[in-house]
Structure 1
């Protein structure tokens, strides 16, 4: 410093003070920035999860046919966390270093516009590198999250089916499959690291080149008295700070690109509007419960080339029990799902009391049409909460009465906590028959106008099935009942039987009428119930 002139020393001190003040102001602003950004992105995390879950709940059923549970939960957990955390960490830093870079550039231009132009020349090259790298990295980020979702699918499916896995001693195989999925993700991570390394080399070599060029050109400007040596030293210090800011901008830019790649899937789900018409407004004062299938042709959206129903027409009349029978895969359960308005047919229409089922108010329809499936799902809540599921107001008396009709009250009261007994995940604390009886009670407590039973008594013993069907027979006067069953001991309670084969209605009539025809139904009875040989002989 002794060799510097008084003017150089004064210039250097002034620039040093300005830099110090700029840094102090930046530190104070940085504290506010960190706090405000963390608060803002904590809200963003919650809002994204709420909106994504809400959007997922509004999707068509075929959406869940195409996307596995592990994939969807990965969006709600891993993907949202990646987006919110990376954005919260990187947007704040990106704005900080970007502001810092602009501020430093201003001071550099004030010191020497000639040296500043030299620095500016390298910025388009750095920008081009960033754009090329960003496109490649964004695609990799999406692939990484997809690979993680696949791994989550394996884990979720294996854990939820652990009893099956254990019974076949297949733990090692499932662990190997999970490991292979993680290996795919790791290979993509390596590509990310390689891309980041190349981008870092390119940007830093460019910055080193600019620094070296600045020293040589700045020295030349000092020799020809265009700037002072103090200004040159100050400019070089600014350039060091600018280089650090640009390096941090490139790092935060990488994080932002990753979050954009992951966020695309989330926003696609949020923006994906369901094409299923579910916002009908029709709410009739009375409902008789007549269901009509009119020339219905249906195929699942995931398998449009495979027709499940082909020009099917039939009617479920109020005041009677109708049964649909047929071999597995013939389209029985699909009829039930169409009545629930879970899918739309490709042709024809389903009418309820003469009105298209899609025209009914969504909540009204599902308060009047209740279904019990072969494998009913109970939630990890109490039995009382499971029976009253979906009802805003439901008295304990109504719950008990429904349980009595479903012959579930006796075993429920024998449990330690009675109706407050927790059922466990998917009802694992109850037996198959107990779950079915709770599910039947859940349907009956709604006092439905249309009751759909899809193999709803398949896990019950003969005595309990008989008792429940006897109770349901008493309900037929005030609601339409459809039974889908393989066991013909269940079908015999029906006044009308519809026989379906490969999506086509081939026979319909009472048990006695169909036995006399000696057609498809006759052959099913003969194969399934040898004990009914006397009935067969009598019909001959």
Structure 2
């Protein structure tokens, strides 16, 4: 902090000395330099000398030259030479400042240089910023360029829009020009032919501008629609590839907000702002050219507003962008709260927490409201200052315009044309500074989207192993695991176990001791912190992702069905699944009989989340969905809680050639298992058949006795 405070006076001193040095150099050496060496050599020689002297002076005072300072000195030095050379080539003459050392010329040249340097700084990012493309540290300009690169497939539409844009701008630019001509014709010697031609040209340019503007808007809106669909699909694909731990740490409301709202904002705001930016830029350049032909003095006077407007805009952008990002985050939190309550409305109702949730949601809305008030207040102050600046410039322009008419340097018609151009030019310059800032604000939403797009899943899916023949041998070797949400709490500790092909293994034990965690690790929802899991003597991560999830299938206690028919849910994720295979799987899952009793059979709609079916029916369809894949390893996680004894016995014996893993609290369910594993404290405490464990009279025996004593079916 002390270093920053000490550098501020130094920078102020440097600014003062550089300003005085440049004015002295301009006043003493400008004209003499030009006359001494000849016109062009003098102009460019003085520009080079000015650049070297100012750079050396800045280096001596500051000790280092920042890139932005080098760019400003280069612009300040070269702009007069470029302008005078262009004036000579286009108009065969120099401006009044070409050979003058007047302070007025120095002031106008400095103002134009500041405007050019500011526009350069806004539009062209530094190389070091482009190299810092890292997640949350991404700069707004880098993000914006990245969004533009995503529009590459829509290049034909964008080019077509650019052509229409250029034509519309050209038509709009000439309307004020012919308006001034009409006034001069009416005020001087009236010529009917000249008046008619001027009116006809005005009408043609107006019609052409309207038609081209419509074509431009249509093509760009098509590009926006195409971009939005493409980026939504790309983000959705990226999200579905993330590990399960990612969804446990990120709120659902935030994800849906990025997917629905921010992707649309990226396409709409950026593309439409680029449209406005290009149109305004082309129009501004053309207007300045026409204004220079009417009065270069008034043009320089008008351009002096640009640095002031740019400084105001930069201050506004800093605060507005920060508040806009805060509003986006607050809205994501509010959406998450609403989604959470709607998803768990039964729990909210059962605990009489409606008022509590309404208050919680109200607090979220109040936060959004307060942030929006602050954001809108900043915008209101900015608009007020911007309008006052424009009004002051208009007063100055009218004052000097009257003087120039009195001196015969311009006509009344030229002044009217100039005023019309100046009105549009002021709006265009403010639009240029505003629209670029607005684009930077809009890519704030893109920052979160790119964070998701750039994120690499912590659980890799890059395995390639997919053998034709596979046995269902599973080995846990010294596995240690803790969930990402609670990294300090170990769920499995030095867990070692083997599941043999063709056998039924049952996991029993108290809740929260690691039984379902083993099933999650087998599905590669997570990676163990140490140890490894082998499938057919190969690490799980070596297998191709889709192949692995076809060979290892889990049916959970609370199966989720998707909106659609029973047939669609059984064949979910399979491209070439026949009706015969679907029916065979349903028979094995003891679901065929109740399905055929339904009015539409396998074409019956299950409703959202399977809500049209009973819990036991959803369970059987989920089992059929697993069996239709003909998995090598089938995991049944607490499914028997929703099945009666008859259905339970009909489901499990249908897997004679598979490795069957059953996780259950009902001990009667797994008495016939080939291997019963009692898990406690994240370790294998006991292992054996039902009779072997009873004879041991250990933890399993005591657990069975406890359940019998409490009146539960063992």
TM-score, reference length from structure 1 = 0.90
Could you say which residue in structure 2 is the equivalent of 1:240?
Answer: 423
User: 1:461: Cα distance to partner?
Assistant: 2.5
The 1:199–1:250 alpha-carbon spacing in structure 2 relative to 1, beyond 3 Å, is: farther
Could you say which residue in structure 2 is the equivalent of 1:297?
Answer: 480
Q: Deviations over 1:272-331 (max 9, x none)?
A: 222422121111121111001111111222322222211211110112111112211111
User: 1:15: Cα distance to partner?
Assistant: 10
Listed as ranges, the matches of 1:133-212 within 5 Å are 133-212=316-395
The 1:227–1:508 alpha-carbon spacing in structure 2 relative to 1, beyond 3 Å, is: same
Secondary structure of 2:692's aligned partner: helix
Deviates more, 1:69-78 or 1:370-379: 69-78
Instruction: Kindly indicate whether the alpha-carbon contact (under 8 Å) linking 1:423 and 1:429 is maintained by their aligned counterparts in 2.
Output: yes
Higher helix share: 2
The 1:123–1:492 alpha-carbon spacing in structure 2 relative to 1, beyond 3 Å, is: same
Instruction: Kindly indicate whether the alpha-carbon contact (under 8 Å) linking 2:404 and 2:410 is maintained by their aligned counterparts in 1.
Output: yes
Higher relative contact order (CA 8 A, sep 6+): 1
Cα distance in 2, alignment partners of residues 146 and 335 from structure 1: 36
Cα distance in 2, alignment partners of residues 3 and 385 from structure 1: 78
Secondary structure of 2:490's aligned partner: coil
Could you say which residue in structure 1 is the equivalent of 2:698?
Answer: 519
Instruction: Kindly indicate whether the alpha-carbon contact (under 8 Å) linking 1:406 and 1:441 is maintained by their aligned counterparts in 2.
Output: yes
Could you say which residue in structure 2 is the equivalent of 1:498?
Answer: 677
Could you say which residue in structure 2 is the equivalent of 1:274?
Answer: 457
Instruction: Kindly indicate whether the alpha-carbon contact (under 8 Å) linking 1:299 and 1:345 is maintained by their aligned counterparts in 2.
Output: yes
Instruction: Kindly indicate whether the alpha-carbon contact (under 8 Å) linking 2:480 and 2:492 is maintained by their aligned counterparts in 1.
Output: yes
User: What number of residue pairs does the alignment pair up?
Assistant: 529
Instruction: Kindly indicate whether the alpha-carbon contact (under 8 Å) linking 1:138 and 1:260 is maintained by their aligned counterparts in 2.
Output: no
Matched, 1:468 2:647: no
Secondary structure of 2:577's aligned partner: coil
Equivalent residue for 1:58, pick from 223, 227, 241:
241
RMSD over aligned Cα, in angstroms? Answer: 2.9
The 1:15–1:191 alpha-carbon spacing in structure 2 relative to 1, beyond 3 Å, is: farther
Cα distance in 2, alignment partners of residues 63 and 532 from structure 1: 41
Matched, 1:507 2:690: no
Could you say which residue in structure 1 is the equivalent of 2:635?
Answer: 452
TM-score, reference length from structure 2 = 0.69
Cα distance in 2, alignment partners of residues 464 and 402 from structure 1: 14
Cα distance in 2, alignment partners of residues 232 and 395 from structure 1: 81
Gaps of 5+ in 2: 1-182
Equivalent residue for 1:362, pick from 524, 545, 550:
545
Deviates more, 1:136-145 or 1:51-60: 136-145
Q: Deviations over 1:87-139 (max 9, x none)?
A: 35433333323332222222222222222222222212212222332233223
Listed as ranges, the matches of 1:78-477 within 5 Å are 78-249=261-432, 252-253=435-436, 255-469=438-652, 471-472=653-654, 475-476=655-656
Cα distance in 2, alignment partners of residues 17 and 241 from structure 1: 22
The 1:114–1:168 alpha-carbon spacing in structure 2 relative to 1, beyond 3 Å, is: same
User: 1:466: Cα distance to partner?
Assistant: 3.2
Secondary structure of 1:308's aligned partner: strand
Q: Deviations over 1:128-164 (max 9, x none)?
A: 2223322332232222222222222222232233333
Q: Deviations over 1:441-493 (max 9, x none)?
A: 11111111101111122222333223323x24xx23x1111111112122213
Cα distance in 1, alignment partners of residues 249 and 205 from structure 2: 55
Cα distance in 2, alignment partners of residues 206 and 517 from structure 1: 91
User: 1:18: Cα distance to partner?
Assistant: 8.8
Secondary structure of 2:561's aligned partner: coil
Cα distance in 2, alignment partners of residues 21 and 214 from structure 1: 30
Deviates more, 1:170-179 or 1:182-191: 170-179
Equivalent residue for 2:225, pick from 42, 51, 54:
42
Could you say which residue in structure 2 is the equivalent of 1:538?
Answer: none
The 1:182–1:253 alpha-carbon spacing in structure 2 relative to 1, beyond 3 Å, is: farther
The 1:332–1:359 alpha-carbon spacing in structure 2 relative to 1, beyond 3 Å, is: same
Q: Deviations over 1:223-275 (max 9, x none)?
A: 45544454333322211122233455566456434421112111221222224
Cα distance in 2, alignment partners of residues 399 and 2 from structure 1: 86
Could you say which residue in structure 1 is the equivalent of 2:668?
Answer: 489
